[in-house]
């Protein structure tokens, strides 16, 4: 049997032969450290090799729990893999930055809990019971993909949720915006009463690459194939389509690795496996070769220094970036992540670039500044779960401190986004200039902190839209979009509209909601000059279709 690769100090590998007490003690130790560590510096990944385990894994901040089988059913947890909000009095709205992947869980008593908000992916899981998505208090999640939940998913207080390409026994609950694509067992589309939006199939998707161990304990990364008109999981009917890459073809990035070493490995044609840690970059990570895989474990974090771009991708086929948190540095970066240079024109329809669990943060762990967070210039890119966040709490936040204009700019054509969360930017949250764009689920909060209306004006217009489709776009379609305001510094502030689009037949929006959170401010219109307002008198406003 092969020995596992050296994945650095923050990856903890368990085998079925590891004593139960040893496993439980280690996961408890990490949870105790990470339970409240919202902006802490530690990062962890627990890897469970195929087999059965009796363990209760309470998942804290910057912790990822992963099974190493080719199927979730190869790695069985008898007990729980769960997220609670005990530390915050049941309020799960700050339960970010964690994940569970590729496990079968038989929960004690038949029920498990995943009480999370943004950036907490639940992927490729088989839950042999019911799943509760809140902990009795507020909650603002979340994302499930390529999973089977045998019992009922209960959303509880969740404000919004996106579930993709899964199978569920049933779904109970709704609040403002529940979206399903390619989900067997999903409720019917009934937006806005209740606010369920269901699309039968997912048009084009690639699942996130994942690490696995074969019968000889040799490690590989599996890269799933692109699926068209997908529905249900990739794994229930046998081995999924895709390609295995041996770990020997990966440069393993461990704490202390420099940006120069990373770029040298990429230039030699290696892929990247980024182990848990914080990596300060004094040069841009440059992904120039087609089909390159960058897979992060344990919320591996890149921080650009001196105002550089953290990561840039050439206009090539088939790049996969997965499981990376990019944290803006104190010196302003014009762009944090760029996919394709300006003016990219190549057609990548046969082999698109895909972004999975790509999280971007500006402020919160300290002062961060970036004009634009994610810019997609290439065509045919798939964004599969992103949280692009200008911090509204934590360290280094304030209207003139963590300055950030725009969260996402899409200039490429035929770009598709699933589970897109963009929040608190100071101008437009999302600008979509490319043609034939598709978005399935969008969650937004406008900036909390404009000091007054004069500070947040777009020319003569009050504030900036949460999602702007460019004037020259002739074809764009979006399903299940929510934009909320909480102007808690000055409740008299007004955002004129949440969604701003050209009035042409090919631009269509479905299932939109605006919310004035606790009546703190006003969103005057939902889309263009239609719908709304959401204000102190009427917090929630819905619009089923536009036009």
pLDDT tens digit sequence for 206-265? 999 999 999 999 999 999 999 999 999 999 999 899 999 999 999 999 999 999 999 999
Q: Please give the Cα distance from 268 to 166 (Å, whole number).
A: 38
Chain segment 402-446, per-residue pLDDT in tens: 999 999 999 999 999 999 999 999 999 999 999 999 999 999 999
Residues assigned a catalytic role: 445
CA distances for 111 relative to 115, 132, 219, angstroms: 13, 7, 32
Say whether pLDDT at 1 is over 90: no
Nearest to 253, CA basis, from 243, 240, 262: 262
Handedness of CA 431, 413, 301, 138 (dihedral sign): positive
Can you give the pLDDT at residue 461? 98
Chain segment 83-108, per-residue pLDDT in tens: 999 999 999 999 999 999 999 999 99
Mean pLDDT of 388-393: 98
Chain segment 292-316, per-residue pLDDT in tens: 999 999 999 999 999 999 999 999 9
Can you give the pLDDT at residue 2? 84
Q: Coil, strand, or helix at residue 73? A: helix
- Chain-centroid distance of CA 342 in Å reads 25
Cis bond upstream, residue 124 (ω within 30)? no
Q: Please give the Cα distance from 275 to 299 (Å, whole number).
A: 9
Could you write out the three-class secondary structure of 131-151? EECCCCCCECCCEEECCEEEE
Handedness of CA 466, 546, 178, 90 (dihedral sign): positive
CA distances for 460 relative to 387, 404, 463, angstroms: 30, 21, 9
Q: Please give the Cα distance from 131 to 120 (Å, whole number).
A: 15
Chain segment 95-149, per-residue pLDDT in tens: 999 999 999 999 999 999 999 999 999 999 999 999 999 999 999 999 999 999 9
pTM above 0.95, yes or no: yes
Contact between 281 and 303 under an 8 Å Cβ cutoff? The reply is yes
Can you give the pLDDT at residue 8? 96
DSSP per position, 301-327: EEEE-TT--SEEE-S-S--EEEEEEEE
Say whether pLDDT at 3 is over 90: no
Nearest to 428, CA basis, from 451, 454, 446: 446
Mean pLDDT for the chain overall: 98
CA geometry: angle 500, 502, 508, nearest 5 deg: 85
pLDDT category of residue 365 using cuts at 50, 70 and 90: very high
Mean pLDDT of 348-377: 98
Mean pLDDT of 162-179: 98
Residue with tokens 């934590």: 394
Q: Please give the Cα distance from 313 to 497 (Å, whole number).
A: 33
Can you give the pLDDT at residue 159? 98
450 by Cβ neighbours in 10 Å (0-12 / 13-18 / 19+) ranks as buried
């Amino acid at each position: 049997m092969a020995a596992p690769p050296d994945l650095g100090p923050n990856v903890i590998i368990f085998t079925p032969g590891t004593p139960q007490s040893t496993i439980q003690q280690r996961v408890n130790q990490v949870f105790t450290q990470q339970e409240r560590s919202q902006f802490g510096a530690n990062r962890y990944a627990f890897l469970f090799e195929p087999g059965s385990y009796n363990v209760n894994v309470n998942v804290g901040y910057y912790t990822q729990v992963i099974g190493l089988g080719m199927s979730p059913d190869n790695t069985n947890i008898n007990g729980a893999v769960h997220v609670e909000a005990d530390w915050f009095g049941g309020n799960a709205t700050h339960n970010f930055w964690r994940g569970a992947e590729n496990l079968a869980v038989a929960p004690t008593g038949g029920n498990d809990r995943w009480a999370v908000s943004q950036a907490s992916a639940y992927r490729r899981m088989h839950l042999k019971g019911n799943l509760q998505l809140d902990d009795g208090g507020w909650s603002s999640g979340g994302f499930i993909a390529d999973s089977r939940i045998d019992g009922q998913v209960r959303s509880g207080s969740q404000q919004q949720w996106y579930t993709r390409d899964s199978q569920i026994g049933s779904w109970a609950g709704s609040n403002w915006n529940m979206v399903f694509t390619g989900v067997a067992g999903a409720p019917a589309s009934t937006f806005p009463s209740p606010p369920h939006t269901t699309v039968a199939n997912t048009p084009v998707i690639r699942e996130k690459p994942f690490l696995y161990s074969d019968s000889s304990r040799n490690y590989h990364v599996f890269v799933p194939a692109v699926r068209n008109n997908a529905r249900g999981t990739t794994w229930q009917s046998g081995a999924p389509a895709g390609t295995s890459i041996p770990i020997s073809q990966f440069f393993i990035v461990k704490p202390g690795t420099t940006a120069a070493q990373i770029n040298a490995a990429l230039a030699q044609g290696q892929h990247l496996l980024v182990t848990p840690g914080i990596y300060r970059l004094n040069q841009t990570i440059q992904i120039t070769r087609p089909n390159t895989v960058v897979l992060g474990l344990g919320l591996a974090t890149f921080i650009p220094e001196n105002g550089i771009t953290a990561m840039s991708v050439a206009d090539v086929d088939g790049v996969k970036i997965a499981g990376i948190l990019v944290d803006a540095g104190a010196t302003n970066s014009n762009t944090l992540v760029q996919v394709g240079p300006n003016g990219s024109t190549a057609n990548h329809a046969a082999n698109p670039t895909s972004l999975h669990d790509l999280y971007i943060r500006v402020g919160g762990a300290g002062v961060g500044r970036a004009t634009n967070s994610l810019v997609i210039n290439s065509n045919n890119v798939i964004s599969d779960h992103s949280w692009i966040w200008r911090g509204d709490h934590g360290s280094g936040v304030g209207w003139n401190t963590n300055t950030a204009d725009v969260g996402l700019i899409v200039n490429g054509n035929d770009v598709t986004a699933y589970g897109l969360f963009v929040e608190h930017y100071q101008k437009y949250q999302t600008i979509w200039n490319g043609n034939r764009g598709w978005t399935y689920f969008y969650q937004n909060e406008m900036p909390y902190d404009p000091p007054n209306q004069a500070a947040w004006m777009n020319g003569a217009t009050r504030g900036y839209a949460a999602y702007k489709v460019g004037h020259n776009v002739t074809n764009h379609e979006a399903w299940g979009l929510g934009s909320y305001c909480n102007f808690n510094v000055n409740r008299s502030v007004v955002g004129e509209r949440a969604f701003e689009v050209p009035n042409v037949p090919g631009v269509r929006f479905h299932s939109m909601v605006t919310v004035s959170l606790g009546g703190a401010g006003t969103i005057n219109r939902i889309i263009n000059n239609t719908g709304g307002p959401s204000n102190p008198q009427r917090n929630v406003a819905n619009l089923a279709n536009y036009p």
